[in-house]
Structure 1
């Protein structure tokens, strides 16, 4: 029987998904774009993250399935849309994990004043460890991940506490040297800071009691992330001022001489923990997404086979192989396949996934408050997708490939919404297993977990009526 995760481990996974290596450089990049007014961009992005988190949490409660956003989209708009979203997410993760590992490793290597060869080795070790830990399942590896996330949060809180006494009011003026365009530019940069909720949605089915646990996990995660991001953003402006974007290791400068010789080690450790946490959670989500796609006919059925412990090792092996190919390409042609290109490609694909997931929330959920928040979040995310420039051809190309697969491999008839399929075990796929349960049609308010709102017939897609 598959072991389940609890609230503490779930919160660690959610925090790890959202609080990635971007926290190391994003505050400084935002200051470079907008000056002290970058704090307004931070406030806007953190405010948007609340309805996004609420929407994905409510969807996870109603459909606690490893398919995540692909499942939500399939329920709302049909199997073709679900296939496209699943392919987007599965394609994005190898690129994002390689880019994140390389960026985090370079940050750590710079902090420790080592060479580029050391950075490549650090990135390889982090990725290997993240994939290896996922092989043993979230129940066992989640304990270590919980400890690592706790240590990371303690380190970041220490950085904030050490920096606060050195904040100077003079560094907040002029407040908006680049005006409104600068604030908008900073907000676009900071979108990466609120990515991750779509990945966490794939883990909803891993909870022992998702209806009760998910609202607690999401609320705790949003609170922790908001406090850490806001604290680092304020300290970056107040301590470093306009010079924040002129250093490759702003976190090291925040610690400054007051931290003594341990500042470099602390900055490097933060980089490693942040990177590893994000990689671990996204890899877990992508492996489960691939298994769900195999189960639903959007991938070959081979992907849908899992072990008796519920770990989707076949899908995980494909993810690891794809990441290895991307890493080799980045090493062989660093001027073509660089970290910036990989991260931008990852961002536009994940933003597309988030956009469709929020649209599904508007269609499926019954709470007017959560649906309205999802609509606002979708508008913001849609703007980010449009700003992807030429890279918007990437989700379009993946969508064409997904539709070509669907044309020659029609999906089995969709089950009614709210009727999950039993998890596949070794040697079987879920398409051969009967429906075992029916989920009540209720949506929950993230800020008031005890208040359920029944989904009206009007909010269900036509196939459910």
Structure 2
């Protein structure tokens, strides 16, 4: 691929270090912080805290790999550009489509999750839930139409609110912490810690999303890796603090683990705590959806310039120079996915495994690219190999959803073959 293709013209460098950190945090901290600490504690008891420490260490090489690659190859193509530079256009195009076809499913799931937390407090029915979910997605799409500088500023404010609310939840629960809640430390045996670690992986996915915004970084060589390190530290500290206080207050157990954060907050704040968690959930879903919608619209733009996606995917807004073609594609998909969920054609739990699989496949592609492209950096090579072994080792445990990326690759291969014949 030529240099001109790898550096797609038209996007504006507007993202400084604070915005980059906010985008990373917003992409990584998902609804898992509301659910997983309690579920992990129920699975492994107080020893689940060791699983959080383990995962915080293991995902760091993955984050560093993505940061180093973004610094060297800033592009709206993100991981697909890294793979393209390492293994050629066909491999890069496949990884690009992996990511692009994750977000049309993943973003509606996030919006419905956020709406559901409000629904519990407001006694909403399905119609109100899905109207609220649609409004969340419309808000995120409009922010990205007006420019990443607008979306990034909003993201910075939202992430600051998320951090403030989580810190409030941690501090409010301190009076109810007890050393007695740490015994027995491993009630279900030490293997339960490994099982809990596998569950926690989903809380740390998101580093790949911001790579698609790296072309808009101000000084990517300096800020990409700094952004990764700052955000990785903040995310790990937040997760560890919430998980520790969940155990210290024993805010988990049969029937309450999925609402552990709400239970923990309500110990001190009562019903107001329920509202705090609901607002937190809403902010988290908006922040995560914002990061992924911005990234996916840019990969759509990049694929269009590579002539591996419909030409209209590459349309830029005349004034704001934002990828409105990609945003239109995502919006159409959102309508379809929300409709399918609303009419009960498929459930959230059945649907969520599909984007998980394509995100996983995207990571594997990025790690493979890192192995080749970061060969001249000792730290980069070590980070890439560590994250590659980690992701490949976990991939078979995805079950039947592991076939979804394979189906996408086969369809794209057949489409490319037919395109070459007719060209």
What TM-score do you get using the length of structure 1 for normalisation?
0.84
Post-superposition Cα deviations, 1:26-73, rounded to whole Å, max 9, x if no partner, equal 111211222222112211211122111111111001100000000001
User: Does residue 317 of the first structure (1) align with residue 322 of the second (2)?
Assistant: no
Q: Distance in 1 between matches of 2:307 and 2:51?
A: 41
Higher helix share: 2
Structure 1 residues 247 and 119: alpha-carbon distance in aligned structure 2, compared to 1, 3 A threshold: farther
Of the structure 1 ranges 247-256 and 364-373, higher mean CA displacement relative to structure 2 is found in: 247-256
| Residue in 2 that maps onto 1:363 | 372
Counterpart of 2:238 in 1: which secondary structure?
helix
| Residue in 2 that maps onto 1:250 | 260
| Residue in 2 that maps onto 1:327 | 338
Structure 1 residues 148 and 285: alpha-carbon distance in aligned structure 2, compared to 1, 3 A threshold: same
| Residue in 2 that maps onto 1:345 | 354
Q: Distance in 2 between matches of 1:35 and 1:245?
A: 15
Q: Distance in 2 between matches of 1:173 and 1:115?
A: 42
| Residue in 1 that maps onto 2:317 | 307
User: Residue 33 of structure 1: which of 43, 49, 62 is its match?
Assistant: 43
Post-superposition Cα deviations, 1:430-463, rounded to whole Å, max 9, x if no partner, equal xxxxxxxxxxxxxxxxxxxxxxxxxxxxxxxxxx
Of the structure 1 ranges 179-188 and 380-389, higher mean CA displacement relative to structure 2 is found in: 179-188
| Residue in 2 that maps onto 1:84 | 94
Q: Distance in 1 between matches of 2:316 and 2:413?
A: 26
| Residue in 2 that maps onto 1:232 | 242
Post-superposition Cα deviations, 1:105-135, rounded to whole Å, max 9, x if no partner, equal 2123224554444332322221111112111
Q: Contact conserved, 1:29 with 1:245, CA < 8 A, in 2?
A: no
Alignment of 1:2-151 (within 5 A): 2=12, 4-151=14-161
Unaligned runs of 5+ in 2: 1-9
Alignment of 1:206-285 (within 5 A): 206-240=216-250, 242-243=252-253, 246-285=256-295
Query: Aligned-residue CA RMSD in angstroms?
Result: 1.9
How far apart are 1:254 and its partner, in Å?
A: 0.9
Counterpart of 1:71 in 2: which secondary structure?
helix
Structure 1 residues 19 and 360: alpha-carbon distance in aligned structure 2, compared to 1, 3 A threshold: same
How far apart are 1:90 and its partner, in Å?
A: 0.7
How far apart are 1:12 and its partner, in Å?
A: 1.0
| Residue in 1 that maps onto 2:6 | none
Q: Contact conserved, 2:48 with 2:196, CA < 8 A, in 1?
A: yes
Post-superposition Cα deviations, 1:219-272, rounded to whole Å, max 9, x if no partner, equal 211111011111001011111255276254222211124214421221111000
Of the structure 1 ranges 136-145 and 62-71, higher mean CA displacement relative to structure 2 is found in: 136-145
| Residue in 1 that maps onto 2:7 | none
Q: Contact conserved, 1:107 with 1:249, CA < 8 A, in 2?
A: no
Post-superposition Cα deviations, 1:134-189, rounded to whole Å, max 9, x if no partner, equal 11111123222211111111111111111123221222222222324422221221
Post-superposition Cα deviations, 1:333-389, rounded to whole Å, max 9, x if no partner, equal 2xx521112221111110110011011101101212221122111222123321111
Structure 1 residues 233 and 245: alpha-carbon distance in aligned structure 2, compared to 1, 3 A threshold: farther
Post-superposition Cα deviations, 1:394-452, rounded to whole Å, max 9, x if no partner, equal 111011111122223359xxxxxxxxxxxxxxxxxxxxxxxxxxxxxxxxxxxxxxxxx
Counterpart of 2:212 in 1: which secondary structure?
helix
Unaligned runs of 5+ in 1: 412-465
Structure 1 residues 47 and 159: alpha-carbon distance in aligned structure 2, compared to 1, 3 A threshold: same
| Residue in 2 that maps onto 1:171 | 181
Structure 1 residues 166 and 270: alpha-carbon distance in aligned structure 2, compared to 1, 3 A threshold: same
